[in-house]
Structure 1
């Protein structure tokens, strides 16, 4: 694992295969560039962001303040940037108005605006009349670009001839490079004090400082105008490595990588530390082909054909004469890498996320911290919190079969998703792609939700319980079977407050303030627990064993389980496939004991369609019931009529478990979330728990349905999904599966009858006000 990298101004552009996905997701990273102690990137909106050291204004936000998260650049009015590049303490970009802009330190004229003044926001470069630029490259103290007139221009510090105009006079604005007669440069890469370019004659040229052999012509002499590189016989260089280094690297048409120049830290990758004044081949790993190079003063990196960055030279305090791979975060694959002075960044599929690692002393990793990271961490935007109407954010989300509901930091309730029965509570039956305010009763706020297949219930601040949506078989508890599209009070017994609500199919249960548990709704299998199989249109007491009070209840699809004050577990309802956990398969219309493992008590229970799971006092998780989809998690598909241990990998213990239909998920004490069974988006069922994500903050209050949601200790709601089926849009319609975890925010960009709701990656998407 590469812990740090050293490079200057290595640019990184969007992978064409991911652009469509980026557009669907809303604003996404499409270019990333690491500089000396700052980093910048472009979103597909054309907005630039910078972070890290800002002492010379190089972040472009109008200040000279360091920033530890991606901060918007003060864009010129009406301009979008299409390409960006970084120098040691300055930044440049090309706009969609065909102009170049620079900001940061102006010493030596590197901003190209005719002065040597520092600028804390973008200013136009004094471009030649009628010329527009492309292929901009600005590393150490100078910048170069290719013009639409087929000429190459450079500006800035020129003490070593790196501007290429035949002089050593610094240039405050662009001047034409002395290209060989008849040669047009098609690619330019500015180094720290030298520059290289590829010509349309298939030759490579360099100029500027040469004392380390970086010119590549076999000498240690500097050049003020381009001279040919002594390329190996029969080889044509197809791509140059950008970056503020005193060595150069290039990709050859023979699928080899070549480097030349300074080799003090083995950054040429040829196995020794000797300066090379001519290109030598890198000792590449077997079977790997490199592409998209980036260099620094002491290191070189490249993307491998295995979708991993490979680096060599000095990093993590050691010299590495051979390439070493960097592993991307689980569920991602890197496609472009860019290295800064002491840090490295990369873009990753499938969601165009930006990651950085290495030194973070100035905030250049963009993760809201000023400390180093040995493994890639995701770049965050400044002040990033999932925005909602009025700037609020969701702090908790509850998942149902086809819809979600949540509470924001102002205790306002929202629902979104399928709404054919009025389950969103907004007074309509119109499905909503973005969170829509629930028509809560006047003066009432909701504190907890319970979501079924087509109905919703909530606990109100007025101590009443409300339900809405489908009234099938009395599941709303209001004495009727009619659908209701706004919250309607449940007919709770006088003076009784119901808490701990639970529902999944077509019955609902709650814990009464009078130490009695109540259920209502469909009861054909006895799931209401009152000793009958009669549907109940209003809450009725569950026939709890004498002297036992239920402390937690879990309503499955056709059965219910609860934990008693005697630390035992009871189930009732449909007993098919062993759902009662007592060794039999008979229905029970009143609570019956689950056969507990010897000496074990259960502390939390969750019920799915026809199975249940519980956390044991021995730090193990147990499941029982139907197992045809491996939802019991013991490694097979045989139904289990009594609790069996779940095979959690790596010895991890689950601290919370949730179940829905034919799959189960849990939160591990190893900061991972695990899921098993069918319906989680894998091509085949997972018969034992699979780690889906690494939690960025500790999670609690896991909610499982058509998505998985949890509450973070940062008071933010998080949701994630292993797949993107019709009706469940958690990743903007991207067809690739994966364990993408997202903060829930508002977005109304998606269209289509099957796309009822959406959660977008952190910081993405417009607000649906």
Structure 2
């Protein structure tokens, strides 16, 4: 090699090279050289450079590479530097259908014209095009169509046709097709709403599209495919791949189409630079993206872009101006306008923009015409590199400008030029010699002359000039003909890489030479070549294989073979070879295109499918998520060389139909009549309580049961079930009197024994601040506890310590029953069997929803929401401290009441006294409905049909779970717990005063919010702003959670009840008043049978309740207002579950001995009516006429007036007159006197005993 003079020149070259030196990752050299060269790479997002290490050896499956030589460049030469990708397609002509093109638009090379024909292979007809020699055919628009097939593009044989290439003869292009519709298929297309079904997704057929027009850049590559899409791969640090990311890609990825482009938009032509890219669209616009640090995007900024954006028209251009041809340098861009001018922008450090300055330009500026050129001069073809530029003019001359350190401008000097300078004609060039095509490299240049020869000049220390030396040349120098070239051989096309050169010969072969340390010559070695050698064929290529198109990049090369496939080789540190690796190759390796089809996401509605798994036959399997019944849109996100448009399929969720049967428990009752038919209920639907009730002679109906537990008709049906009618014999439901006779003078104390207890049980329990409510198996509603605001709904403001019957709403139809009850702070609400909502109690903030702020002590009807559809009913209701919410049959959520903290969720803090509609959450899917709503003290939560949990309102302690303490006035989605499984959804939620809990589809319980009393159950007193999981045993799942003020209660799959948090009133039910930081077992009731389990629970502010598997209701905790509902004689401590006696003991209000049958009046009322500890009642008979007297007993039970019992009689005995003489008359008189006296004494004794008993009870209390 010839040494440059002096180290100073080498140092200067090093400094100048730093602005655009490319990567040499994975570079290799010859064995004879001593050291591995340092390789340089640009930093992502910047135009500067950094050193990088050589890449690793290729995998075993890669084409074999010879041992890499190590080398370092001569110290007197510049460091290895970048070559631009020069776009060298001739300026396009304007073709016409069956006619010659516009002669003014054609770069005429001869007077010949050619015919381009189109064989649609079964598609619609396409007209021929007549193209002048050297012009370009136009891709027919629209694409042809063929039923049942997808158009893959126009081909010559197996090779996709490149519509940017010049037409030099008549050709026929053939349409290629793929059978199919391009859509995914799903099988089966229906399944259960519970999810978990395995479905098969069949991908679209593999397409026959191929890559046609190529462009290679510094560290990335690009190609347009036969279907008109654009693909890129390699480095993406500046967004140069145009896929909307900054992620490197080692396989082709599809470039995003520009915003606002028409549906049939396709890409026509692409060119790329070091780290920016540009392409022509079918809409006539030029689009550009990537790095913009030097203004190379031409948008007036230096802001990089990772998606295509249109290039602005130059200032002052005429109307109708369009871009015609373009090319990219490493850090600059040039394009021809329809006005015949050449425009350029970007880096101008060395005057490479040709405008006489060294100032960078961020918008297109016109390149000066060369001095002395004739009138009408225009530019015909241009090529750019990192630091110099070249262009051929309409005068046939070649002009260059910019950096000239190695003589690359070809003007015989090494002087930089800031304006176009004439390149010397080659020595010995014939008269009339002109230049036909130019390509500009890093520090060398090349051009083909009208004599068919190829000339090169500039730097040559890597032998890239192809003249057999490594001597730099300052003027065009003839390139040697290839060894064995035929007579008349000429060069047809040339492209330059960084330090290597590639050219097409007239023999149809592609030749390559120059640097090979990265394997970029593709000959299986890393040996530099100083003369043209044929490009090696791929290993295993079939007979007759030829190369159809090749192009070099910085240090890598690409080519399309006669088999239609793309092959690449050279450096691959950034994936620029597109073969799925980052390993360099020194032989042509095939790029797998199109790539495999892969699903990236599958959504059923908005719920994610799980378990996406590839099958061996190319199909995919997924598991369906849980979903509502009905049809759902299945969105398949998928990728094939980058993201593809989502595909949409249809899947039908079928809700299992469960059978709910009805039978009778016939212990002592005859077979009933009127038994209802079985019901078919959709999963998660509700059984309708049959009406009318069945009847059995001599028996009373107690309700429908599952085992010993009264059935809750508000619960969802999840399996086949049978409900059993329970009965009480009617003959046990009368009072009895003993003794049943006495003297006419009265004064006899008799005992009244009440009817036997009915078999009615509670099926639903709810607790408020200081009151309680339950629905009985008879369909009635019972309340007890505090009643200052009428919250018990029984028509008074008197507190009750025993369950008291709530009157049915005014005007309720026969057979009306209560379906669901809920309690708030001091107000109550319930949904009736008529689908209406009723409310009562405190209404100071409008929380009853009846349009007033007046308290109500009886149920009042809540009006339907404005705009509610016909047939609207209420489905679920929840109450907070002072606000209310309910879900309607339309799936919408409505709220009303107090709203200081935005707890109504309507975007305001204004109270509402009527139901207002709550908007759907932002981003909610189509068809979204609300499934469950729960209110806390000052905040609200609801679960949507998408399985997500939404919260709003007060967030002082993080109770909304959104990671903040910011109040929210509209529903916000709560993030899934950390580590939640794929497909996780929320299934049930509960709210307390300032804390929250929810159960997930994974069976885990999560809590968040205030934790000052350890109410979160995580073993700490630390508040939490996001859901945290509560520890549980293996195999255990949580079933239901209810929260109070500072305590929490939850039931588990083991049938046990667990409680934790504040325990000041014994509300945790563990027999203590000690706070608990983690879930603690609630005590079983005393004497509970083996296998006892808890079936349903509720939590108030300081008291708790639960229904056991024995059908009994148990309560514990604070009882200051009688909210536990226990009998006064119950001795259970409040810190353990104690039974609520229900039905309650009958209460006698009056006893009448004798009655006027005509007037219905009581003739003689009993005296001293009082209860006994054993549940009987005592009454003293009044005087009455001797004989049989009817006895009428008025009585109540659970606050409800019962039908007067008239089934008893009392016989009054007459006192006879004294006889004149002894005998029987005297004995009778004496007996009567003794009997009367004895009765009086006995009565006084019983009165004393009763007073003592009362005194003891009072003392105990």
Q: Normalized against structure 2, the TM-score is what? A: 0.30
Q: Normalized against structure 1, the TM-score is what? A: 0.48
- When Rg is computed on C-alpha atoms for both structures, the one with the higher figure is 2
Higher relative contact order (CA 8 A, sep 6+): 1
